[in-house]
A and B are shown apart, each in its own frame.
Chain A
């Protein structure tokens, strides 16, 4: 069930209405049932996987928790803890690898063996990737790790723990929640809170705006170009890549906002997942603002265990490289994602290497790091680098990506002005609407630097608020790009 489907429009109000009617002690059960229903609406058999993952991590947590409180000698205790963590990690990651990376590994072996003159017979298994498996697996593993580190007491109530893994707003595409944030909320008393519901609905509406008005509209042009790269060159690639950078932001940030808003309506606070990433002045800052729940997950559960930045410089670079290659692989079973991750790792390492020298130059030239021109130039530089990396992320194959890069700077700027851009799937009015909606997005992000628009709205006169709400709802309904036979899925569902 997609957030942008008719089913969800019916599902969510019913769930919310009955949630508030439900006695407090059964609220968790209601949410658990509807979360499983939500997940099973894709494919009922996938529920078995999420249940297996839940059972393994639940019992691992219980056993590790017992070890934490046991009077065993430290060495023995740590050994048993490690065994349970290993069981949890190996079993969960095995499921993830099997369903997500089996074909990727199989294909890669075939290509490699072909290079050295051997023939590898590909498997005939038909494995479908379960929706959101990377998200709930990581969420469940973070729970195991938090208990292992003794930062969290294990959740004894299996139902509440199962709800933590499967909570429907963030089940299939995050934010990847921390147990310390979400689990306690399921035990809190949730009452009908008008202001909170209003705020949640407004956030959902903003999410729909990003998804339906911007992302799905931009997707048309991006798909046209990226699915047939040999037919295009130069400015067409540049426009398609810039459009993709906003498409993926709006697609994923839109999903996150709908998820956070939906949870807020029900009374739960989820973590922020995006914080105006295209206003970043460096790659390091970009990763503090982009897919925050995943970046912090990798920081806490991979980068820091590897030694983080407390090790020598070279080891720190190695750690960065590992984190970003794994992050790339997490996004998808394709070499394009691996290269995308590696490229970001390289950007960050380069940024770290050159940072002292660059700072020195700025000091010598008396450039104010908080000044407008500094922020603008570094903002544009960061955006350009991110866009360049998106080419690998979006291209269907590595060859396509290199073809696009090879033809990226072909001089055909005339196509920007002679209406040929309107033959890339978006007609002139849709193209103008795409630009206008991107400008609206950037303006909102600009205002949000200093002011929370939702809070500002709450303080306005009722007619102003109503005009704003009505205008936004109608804007999404009228100017949204939808209505085809197939619903536009969220890009991050495939991860």
Chain B
């Protein structure tokens, strides 16, 4: 009898194991297809990169909607503050999403400061079927966990629970889209990944016409602005979370040109500030701080749209301001608990050399090509340097001051000649007869906070050891700048 009982128990256990094994295998296959079939966007990319961060390596976490990832550059903040930060924002993120994203983030990270962009409180006009993909993308990016289930229960309709949990039900038809499958596969096969921190550049800058449109439009009446009970409930939950997990919340609001012009905006600011102060949290509204930040028309993207974002220039201004504010008010040395990680990461970031202090440890991957170099008449580069990102990959930065006219430089192309140490072996076959590798490119400019700009270009070469570099600007065969030649390629 006892033997029979044991045998039954053994059979039962083996069946349970078998079912469990099958379910596991099924979910692995299911997840594999889900990853293969979804339309990858920046929201999922942020989650991917977030999950790949070393555990407990973040000092600052930024959450919010598209205004968060357009206005706050982690690289600038980190260059100034000496911290490691990340923007885990998603399009049209509402406060409930922010809450669940934060819970997810806290599983692997212990940031000391959490910056939350509060546009998430101010509207739900996107909440329609077309806008659903943003919530789906954010949920798809999350790993499977109880928190993901809670996020779905907290945000989606009952009928949509299964769809939200398993993207296969929405994307299964993508088996017909071979290009999508191929691109998802090739991404999965990628070995070298950039250090993406969630920031997205909006290159255009607002022109006169668009500014006039904003000036002439009827402004929203914000005198009756209030925060809904549900939103306030989430603010309370966030506060409780900050107390439990020991981090500081800083609420922020990135500027919109229409809000700058809106006389009733002050009420919105005061309402949010009041609620934030109730929980002892700071609220920085960049609409109200526009003078201190020095916002100009070009600080905004060039588009007459309801949700106008900041331009890259605006993002540089706001990020620098925010970074200095955090540095002065919150950052203490103990924040930088991952010094070697920060060194490795930031030493190859242009932002460190453009905005940061000079507290870099060795090895320094920067080759300084010179300062105040006169390239042509009225065109002087303040600073030129080359960052060695890895073997055979360099990043060339030419920084120009505010006195140089950005339009005058746009007529030029830049050329870079790289000469190898051993010209026979250390160069590609087709460039052997010239003895050097040639890179010609148009000058893509990016603004700096001081009103100047810089040129940024990645150079991928076959040359493993460079002996000499020639650099110059060229407009036509006869109109060339003077050439800069560098022979010292030793890193400091």
Contacts and interface: CB of A to CB of B under 8 A. Distances in A.
Interface of A: 6, 9-10, 194, 427, 429-430, 462, 466, 469-470, 473-474, 477-480, 482-483
A483 B29 contact: no
A9 B33 contact: no
A194 B173 contact: no
Nearest to B163: A6
A10 B166 CA distance: 14
A219 to B, nearest CB: 15
A470 B175 contact: no
Given A478-B33, A479-B175, A480-B172, A470 B26 contact: yes
A483 B163 CA distance: 9
B30 A427 contact: no
A427 B172 contact: no
B162 A6 contact: yes
Contact of B168 (A10, A429, A469, A478): A478
5 contacts: A429-B176, A479-B172, A482-B172, A483-B169, A483-B173
Contacts, number: 41
Contacts of B22: 466, 469-470
B227 interface: no
Nearest to A467: B25
Given A477-B33, A477-B172, A483-B173, 8 more contacts: A469-B22, A470-B26, A474-B30, A474-B33, A478-B168, A478-B175, A482-B169, A482-B172
A483 B26 contact: no
A32 B236 CA distance: 46
Contacts of B329: none
A466 B25 contact: yes
Nearest to A480: B172
Interface of B: 15, 18, 22, 25-26, 29-30, 33, 37, 159, 161-163, 168-170, 172-173, 175-176
A462 B21 CA distance: 12
Contact of B176 (A6, A427, A474): A427
B222 to A, nearest CB: 36
B176 to A, nearest CB: 5
A307 B66 CA distance: 78
B25 A470 contact: yes
Nearest to B33: A478
A77 B173 CA distance: 64
A328 to B, nearest CB: 37
Contacts of B172: 477-480, 482-483
Nearest to A428: B176
Nearest 8 pairs between A and B by C-beta? A6-B162, A429-B176, A194-B15, A478-B172, A478-B175, A477-B168, A474-B29, A470-B29
Contacts of A480: 172
A429 B163 CA distance: 24
Contacts of B37: 478
Contacts of B162: 6, 9-10
Nearest to B176: A429
Nearest to B28: A470
B25 to A, nearest CB: 6
A479 B29 CA distance: 15
Contact of A473 (B26, B161, B169, B176): B26
A479 B176 CA distance: 10
Nearest to A430: B176
A392 to B, nearest CB: 33
A422 to B, nearest CB: 12
A194 B18 CA distance: 11
Contacts of B176: 427, 429-430
> Which of B29, B33, B173 has the most CB atoms of chain A within a 10 A radius of its CB?
B173
A483 B160 CA distance: 11
Contacts of A469: 22
Contact of A6 (B15, B25, B33, B161): B161
B159 A6 contact: yes
Contacts of A10: 162
A426 to B, nearest CB: 11
A91 B158 CA distance: 40
B168 to A, nearest CB: 6
Contacts of A6: 159, 161-163
B30 A477 contact: yes
Nearest to B18: A462
Contacts of B15: 194
B70 to A, nearest CB: 32
Contacts of B33: 474, 477-478
A194 B162 CA distance: 27
A483 B170 contact: yes
A355 B15 CA distance: 55
Contacts of B159: 6
A9 B159 CA distance: 12
